[in-house]
Amino acid sequence: MMPLLTTKGLSRNFGGLRAVANVDFAMMPGEIRAVIGPNGAGKTTFVSLVSGRIQPSSGMVVFDGADITNLPAYARVRLGVAYTFQITSVFANLSVYDNVALPVQRTLTDGRSKGAVRTGVMAALERTGLADRTHMLAGQLSYGHQRLLEVAMGLALKPRLLILDEPTQGLADSEIDNFIELVRDIARSATVLLIEHNMPVVMQLADRITVFNAGKILAEGTPEQIRANTEVQDAYLGATP
């Protein structure tokens, strides 16, 4: 089986700062991969390069065998790459329903079909537990529910690769268990790349973990391998149980 996503020598400089440095990375289809590391390690810059939100200083991004390095974000969306922060900004003055209807329409050959739009919207909202909030203004949702709305908007694009940047931030403990089940459900039909600081979530969800530090990959492995890695403990995990 070929990797769905590969980066080769991927780098990004901001002035004198090298935020991402020569990163070689590969993900297999259907995988749940977590990216962890201390603040400033380059995690968000890396996924922004993958999604097309920013362009690399050097290196290559390959998606499903095709070089997408120079494609803008909207073209990557059409190929099936969805990034919650880039693609799914919440429109505070629109209803929850209308926020999700916008990306649904992008997936339909006839975006004017109200029945098809409604089916797509409700499927995404039901999966994220927001179906009872369809008529609320997005700006009236709690912060945690706005994050779930972003996930629903990403799902509405029917992605092959869904990139989630800190999705559990703002969720109540009672909502995190449901989120874990949601990601497992998403992984049945898509590949999931997850930046997450909540280590219990990472350890429960991830098939493999990539640890960034100072713009480079410090380590990769299963949750058990990462938990036992002394370099990772020193750089990031500390006394994480």
Q: Average of pLDDT values for 64-69?
A: 96
Q: Where do the domains of the chain lie, and which CATH numbers do they carry?
A: 1-80+160-168+191-241 (3.40.50.300), 88-158 (no CATH)
Instruction: Report which residue type is found at 220.
Output: E
Q: What is the pLDDT of residue 219?
A: 95
Q: What is the pLDDT of residue 86?
A: 40
Segment 71-114, tens digit of pLDDT: 999 999 999 999 886 444 789 999 999 999 999 988 886 656 78
The rounded distance, in Å, linking the Cα atoms of 46 and 43 is 5
pTM, two decimals, is: 0.89
Whether residue 240 has pLDDT greater than 50 = no
Q: What is the pLDDT of residue 235?
A: 79
pLDDT band at 174 (very low <50, low <70, confident <90, very high): confident
Segment 155-167, tens digit of pLDDT: 999 999 999 988 8
Q: Are 196 and 169 in contact (CB under 8 A)?
A: no
pLDDT band at 185 (very low <50, low <70, confident <90, very high): very high
Q: What is the pLDDT of residue 109?
A: 67
Q: What is the pLDDT of residue 84?
A: 81
Q: What is the pLDDT of residue 239?
A: 46
Q: Are 13 and 19 in contact (CB under 8 A)?
A: yes
Concatenating the DSSP letter of every residue in 153-211 gives HHHHT--SEEEEESTTTT--HHHHHHHHHHHHHHTTTSEEEEE---HHHHHHH-SEEEE
Q: What is the pLDDT of residue 42?
A: 93
